[in-house]
Amino acid sequence: MRLAFLALLSNDVPVAARFWREARLLPQTYYDESIGYAAFETGNPGVTLSIVSRAILPALTGKATQEQAPTARQMYLSFLVDAVDTTYAQVINQGARPISQPTDHPERQSRLAHFSDPADNLIEIYQPLRPAGESAE
């Protein structure tokens, strides 16, 4: 597992992204208002700071409503893994609390799963989706 994203949850991604961009705290590398997401370079290769809309948490975590989504949190950690399904099974077996089972999210070009650690921190694991027709070899 490799830490890839520190995700700050926001009620207003355009305002939060503008702050980080205009205050020049970090260089912006990606922004898509339609999905409520912005990304910034951290200066640490392979680690991105992202701003994520709280409004997408139900879809992201597979919960039906905003009330069911884990919204009390201010951020979450996102780890790149080789195999989401295998890693998810391992962490759940070790006592992590399941939040959302492995699911493909084509809009994020990723397969994602979510769980919380014993301190109730939200953790995401992901792997990139393969383009149609590409094998796992």
pLDDT tens digits in sequence order for the chain, 137 residues long: 898 988 888 888 998 888 888 877 789 999 999 989 999 998 889 999 999 888 887 777 777 655 555 556 678 889 999 999 999 999 998 888 899 999 999 988 999 999 887 667 788 999 999 875 555 54
Sequence-distant (≥ 6) Cβ neighbours of residue 109 within 8 angstroms: 128, 129
Residue 102 to residue 66: CA distance in whole angstroms: 19
What domains does the chain contain, in order, with CATH numbers?
2-128 (3.10.180.10)
Residue 83 to residue 70: CA distance in whole angstroms: 24
Reported for 20-29, long-range contacts at CB under 8 A and 24+ positions apart, including other chains, are 20/49, 20/51
pTM (two decimals): 0.68
